Structure 1
Amino acid sequence: MIRLCAASEIGEGQSKGFEANGLRLFAVRKDGLLHLYENRCPHRQIPLEWLPDQFLDGSGSLIQCATHGALFLIDSGECVAGPCSGQSLRPLPFVERDGIIWLLNEQP
Protein backbone atom coordinates (compact mmCIF):
# COMPACT_ATOMS: atom_id res chain seq x y z
CA MET A 1 0.00 0.00 0.00
CA ILE A 2 1.11 3.55 -0.72
CA ARG A 3 0.08 6.40 1.57
CA LEU A 4 -1.53 9.21 -0.45
CA CYS A 5 -2.70 11.70 2.20
CA ALA A 6 -4.80 12.25 5.27
CA ALA A 7 -8.49 11.71 4.48
CA SER A 8 -9.22 15.16 5.92
CA GLU A 9 -7.22 16.77 3.07
CA ILE A 10 -10.05 15.99 0.63
CA GLY A 11 -13.27 17.57 1.84
CA GLU A 12 -16.74 17.17 0.36
CA GLY A 13 -16.79 18.48 -3.22
CA GLN A 14 -13.00 18.75 -3.41
CA SER A 15 -10.37 17.05 -5.55
CA LYS A 16 -6.65 16.42 -5.12
CA GLY A 17 -3.94 15.13 -7.44
CA PHE A 18 -1.09 12.78 -6.57
CA GLU A 19 1.90 11.01 -8.05
CA ALA A 20 2.72 7.54 -6.74
CA ASN A 21 5.20 5.07 -8.22
CA GLY A 22 5.29 7.05 -11.47
CA LEU A 23 1.50 7.04 -11.77
CA ARG A 24 -0.52 10.26 -11.86
CA LEU A 25 -3.85 9.96 -10.07
CA PHE A 26 -6.50 12.06 -8.39
CA ALA A 27 -9.23 11.71 -5.79
CA VAL A 28 -12.64 13.38 -5.53
CA ARG A 29 -15.06 13.27 -2.60
CA LYS A 30 -18.78 13.37 -3.46
CA ASP A 31 -21.69 12.62 -1.12
CA GLY A 32 -19.18 11.50 1.50
CA LEU A 33 -17.65 8.86 -0.79
CA LEU A 34 -14.12 9.01 -2.15
CA HIS A 35 -13.40 8.16 -5.80
CA LEU A 36 -9.85 7.57 -7.08
CA TYR A 37 -8.91 7.61 -10.78
CA GLU A 38 -5.83 7.63 -12.95
CA ASN A 39 -5.17 11.23 -14.02
CA ARG A 40 -5.32 10.56 -17.75
CA CYS A 41 -7.99 11.59 -20.24
CA PRO A 42 -9.04 8.64 -22.42
CA HIS A 43 -9.13 10.96 -25.46
CA ARG A 44 -5.51 12.12 -25.62
CA GLN A 45 -3.91 10.26 -22.69
CA ILE A 46 -2.96 13.56 -21.01
CA PRO A 47 -3.51 14.86 -17.45
CA LEU A 48 -6.95 16.34 -16.82
CA GLU A 49 -6.27 19.40 -14.67
CA TRP A 50 -5.13 22.86 -15.75
CA LEU A 51 -4.10 23.93 -12.24
CA PRO A 52 -2.96 21.72 -9.35
CA ASP A 53 -5.90 19.89 -7.72
CA GLN A 54 -8.46 21.45 -10.14
CA PHE A 55 -10.32 18.47 -11.60
CA LEU A 56 -13.96 19.62 -11.34
CA ASP A 57 -16.10 21.80 -13.58
CA GLY A 58 -17.42 25.17 -12.42
CA SER A 59 -20.46 23.59 -10.76
CA GLY A 60 -18.33 21.03 -8.88
CA SER A 61 -20.62 18.25 -10.09
CA LEU A 62 -18.49 16.75 -12.90
CA ILE A 63 -14.83 15.97 -13.56
CA GLN A 64 -13.60 18.08 -16.48
CA CYS A 65 -10.66 17.69 -18.83
CA ALA A 66 -9.06 21.12 -19.07
CA THR A 67 -7.62 20.45 -22.55
CA HIS A 68 -10.80 19.79 -24.52
CA GLY A 69 -13.65 20.10 -22.01
CA ALA A 70 -14.74 16.46 -21.77
CA LEU A 71 -17.01 15.87 -18.77
CA PHE A 72 -16.99 12.76 -16.58
CA LEU A 73 -19.35 11.51 -13.87
CA ILE A 74 -17.65 11.61 -10.48
CA ASP A 75 -19.11 8.36 -9.20
CA SER A 76 -18.30 6.18 -12.24
CA GLY A 77 -15.69 8.06 -14.31
CA GLU A 78 -17.87 7.72 -17.42
CA CYS A 79 -17.43 10.44 -20.05
CA VAL A 80 -20.83 12.01 -20.71
CA ALA A 81 -19.76 14.86 -23.01
CA GLY A 82 -16.83 15.55 -25.29
CA PRO A 83 -14.63 13.64 -27.74
CA CYS A 84 -14.26 10.59 -25.47
CA SER A 85 -18.01 10.19 -24.85
CA GLY A 86 -18.79 6.63 -23.79
CA GLN A 87 -15.26 5.95 -22.54
CA SER A 88 -14.29 6.10 -18.87
CA LEU A 89 -11.54 7.15 -16.54
CA ARG A 90 -9.63 4.24 -15.01
CA PRO A 91 -10.58 3.72 -11.35
CA LEU A 92 -7.81 2.74 -8.96
CA PRO A 93 -8.09 0.50 -5.88
CA PHE A 94 -7.75 2.26 -2.54
CA VAL A 95 -8.76 2.08 1.08
CA GLU A 96 -9.56 4.83 3.56
CA ARG A 97 -8.39 3.57 6.96
CA ASP A 98 -7.61 5.30 10.27
CA GLY A 99 -7.90 8.73 8.64
CA ILE A 100 -5.44 7.91 5.83
CA ILE A 101 -6.08 7.27 2.12
CA TRP A 102 -3.98 4.39 0.79
CA LEU A 103 -3.46 3.35 -2.82
CA LEU A 104 -3.61 -0.45 -3.01
CA ASN A 105 -1.13 -2.37 -5.10
CA GLU A 106 -2.67 -3.45 -8.36
CA GLN A 107 -2.45 -7.06 -9.44
CA PRO A 108 -0.85 -7.70 -12.86
Structure 2
Amino acid sequence: MQKYFLCGYGELSEGQSKGFSLGDTAADTANVFAVMKDGEVYVYKNRCPHRGIGLDWQPDQFLDAEGALIQCASHGALFLIESGQCIAGPCTGDALTPVPVEHSPEGLYVLLAD
Protein backbone atom coordinates (compact mmCIF):
# COMPACT_ATOMS: atom_id res chain seq x y z
CA MET A 1 0.00 0.00 0.00
CA GLN A 2 1.11 3.53 -0.77
CA LYS A 3 0.12 6.40 1.50
CA TYR A 4 -0.69 9.75 -0.16
CA PHE A 5 -1.50 13.10 1.40
CA LEU A 6 -4.96 14.07 0.20
CA CYS A 7 -5.67 17.49 1.73
CA GLY A 8 -5.79 19.58 4.87
CA TYR A 9 -8.97 19.60 6.93
CA GLY A 10 -9.90 23.10 5.74
CA GLU A 11 -9.81 22.14 2.05
CA LEU A 12 -13.00 20.06 2.10
CA SER A 13 -16.26 21.42 3.49
CA GLU A 14 -19.56 19.82 4.40
CA GLY A 15 -21.57 18.96 1.27
CA GLN A 16 -18.61 19.48 -1.06
CA SER A 17 -16.73 17.18 -3.40
CA LYS A 18 -13.17 17.55 -4.61
CA GLY A 19 -11.05 15.58 -7.08
CA PHE A 20 -7.39 14.71 -6.58
CA SER A 21 -4.57 13.33 -8.71
CA LEU A 22 -2.16 11.29 -6.63
CA GLY A 23 1.24 9.85 -7.42
CA ASP A 24 1.69 8.63 -10.98
CA THR A 25 -1.18 10.26 -12.86
CA ALA A 26 -0.83 7.64 -15.61
CA ALA A 27 -1.76 4.93 -13.12
CA ASP A 28 -5.35 3.72 -13.06
CA THR A 29 -5.58 4.30 -9.30
CA ALA A 30 -4.14 7.84 -9.32
CA ASN A 31 -7.41 9.76 -9.59
CA VAL A 32 -9.72 9.87 -6.59
CA PHE A 33 -12.39 12.17 -5.22
CA ALA A 34 -13.60 12.98 -1.74
CA VAL A 35 -17.00 14.01 -0.41
CA MET A 36 -17.77 15.29 3.08
CA LYS A 37 -21.21 14.39 4.40
CA ASP A 38 -22.36 14.70 8.01
CA GLY A 39 -18.77 15.34 9.08
CA GLU A 40 -17.47 12.11 7.49
CA VAL A 41 -15.11 12.02 4.53
CA TYR A 42 -15.73 9.41 1.84
CA VAL A 43 -13.12 8.79 -0.85
CA TYR A 44 -13.60 6.78 -4.05
CA LYS A 45 -11.65 6.11 -7.20
CA ASN A 46 -12.81 8.48 -9.92
CA ARG A 47 -14.02 5.72 -12.19
CA CYS A 48 -17.59 4.86 -13.11
CA PRO A 49 -18.28 1.11 -12.89
CA HIS A 50 -20.39 1.31 -16.07
CA ARG A 51 -17.91 2.75 -18.58
CA GLY A 52 -14.66 3.02 -16.62
CA ILE A 53 -14.45 6.79 -17.13
CA GLY A 54 -14.19 9.71 -14.71
CA LEU A 55 -17.38 10.81 -12.98
CA ASP A 56 -16.84 14.58 -12.88
CA TRP A 57 -18.34 16.90 -15.46
CA GLN A 58 -16.29 19.89 -14.29
CA PRO A 59 -13.38 20.01 -11.84
CA ASP A 60 -14.56 19.04 -8.35
CA GLN A 61 -18.17 18.47 -9.51
CA PHE A 62 -19.14 14.96 -8.45
CA LEU A 63 -22.53 15.60 -6.82
CA ASP A 64 -26.06 16.02 -8.14
CA ALA A 65 -27.75 19.44 -8.01
CA GLU A 66 -29.00 18.85 -4.45
CA GLY A 67 -25.61 17.61 -3.22
CA ALA A 68 -27.31 14.45 -1.96
CA LEU A 69 -25.84 11.85 -4.34
CA ILE A 70 -22.73 11.27 -6.42
CA GLN A 71 -23.60 11.58 -10.10
CA CYS A 72 -21.77 10.35 -13.20
CA ALA A 73 -21.52 13.18 -15.73
CA SER A 74 -21.47 10.78 -18.68
CA HIS A 75 -24.76 8.95 -18.22
CA GLY A 76 -26.33 10.28 -15.01
CA ALA A 77 -25.91 7.20 -12.80
CA LEU A 78 -26.52 8.04 -9.13
CA PHE A 79 -24.50 6.67 -6.21
CA LEU A 80 -24.98 6.84 -2.44
CA ILE A 81 -22.29 8.99 -0.83
CA GLU A 82 -21.93 6.72 2.21
CA SER A 83 -21.42 3.44 0.35
CA GLY A 84 -20.77 4.23 -3.32
CA GLN A 85 -23.66 1.93 -4.25
CA CYS A 86 -25.30 2.75 -7.59
CA ILE A 87 -29.04 3.27 -7.08
CA ALA A 88 -30.04 4.57 -10.54
CA GLY A 89 -28.69 4.31 -14.06
CA PRO A 90 -27.08 1.63 -16.23
CA CYS A 91 -24.84 0.33 -13.43
CA THR A 92 -27.56 -0.13 -10.77
CA GLY A 93 -26.34 -2.64 -8.22
CA ASP A 94 -22.65 -1.95 -8.89
CA ALA A 95 -20.60 0.34 -6.67
CA LEU A 96 -17.76 2.81 -6.77
CA THR A 97 -14.39 1.60 -5.47
CA PRO A 98 -13.80 2.99 -1.97
CA VAL A 99 -10.37 4.24 -0.92
CA PRO A 100 -9.33 3.98 2.76
CA VAL A 101 -8.88 7.33 4.53
CA GLU A 102 -6.50 7.99 7.39
CA HIS A 103 -6.81 11.04 9.66
CA SER A 104 -3.65 12.73 10.95
CA PRO A 105 -2.82 16.09 12.55
CA GLU A 106 -1.79 17.43 9.10
CA GLY A 107 -5.00 16.37 7.38
CA LEU A 108 -6.27 13.43 5.38
CA TYR A 109 -4.25 10.64 3.77
CA VAL A 110 -5.45 7.88 1.49
CA LEU A 111 -4.06 4.38 1.07
CA LEU A 112 -3.79 2.98 -2.45
CA ALA A 113 -2.68 -0.48 -3.53
CA ASP A 114 0.75 -0.65 -5.17
Q: What amino acid is the match of 1:7?
A: Y
After TM superposition, the structure 1 stretch with the greater mean CA deviation from structure 2, 92-101 or 37-46, is 92-101
Asked whether the equivalents of residues 6 and 110 of structure 2 are also in contact (C-alpha less than 8 Å), the reply is yes
- Structure 2: give runs of 5+ residues left out of the alignment: none
- Percentage of identical aligned residues: 53
* Among candidates 52, 55, 65, match of residue 58 of structure 1: 65
- Structure 1: give runs of 5+ residues left out of the alignment: none
Report the equivalent of 1:39.
46
> The residue matched to 2:61 in structure 1 has which SS?
coil
Aligned residue pairs: how many?
Answer: 107
After TM superposition, the structure 1 stretch with the greater mean CA deviation from structure 2, 76-85 or 4-13, is 4-13
Measure how far apart 1:99 and its partner are.
4.3
In structure 2, distance between residues paired with 1:14 and 1:64: 13
Q: TM-score, normalization: structure 1?
A: 0.94
Asked whether the equivalents of residues 26 and 36 of structure 1 are also in contact (C-alpha less than 8 Å), the reply is yes
Asked whether the equivalents of residues 6 and 109 of structure 2 are also in contact (C-alpha less than 8 Å), the reply is yes
1:87 aligns with 2:84: no
* Among candidates 59, 63, 69, match of residue 76 of structure 2: 69
Q: What amino acid is the match of 1:59?
A: E
Q: TM-score, normalization: structure 2?
A: 0.89
Report the equivalent of 1:15.
17
> The residue matched to 2:10 in structure 1 has which SS?
helix
Report the equivalent of 2:7.
5
User: CA deviation digits over 1:35-72, x for unaligned, max 9?
Assistant: 00000000000000010000000010000000000000
In structure 2, distance between residues paired with 1:37 and 1:105: 11
| Runs of 4+ displaced beyond 3 Å | none
Measure how far apart 1:5 and its partner are.
1.0
Q: What amino acid is the match of 2:12?
A: I
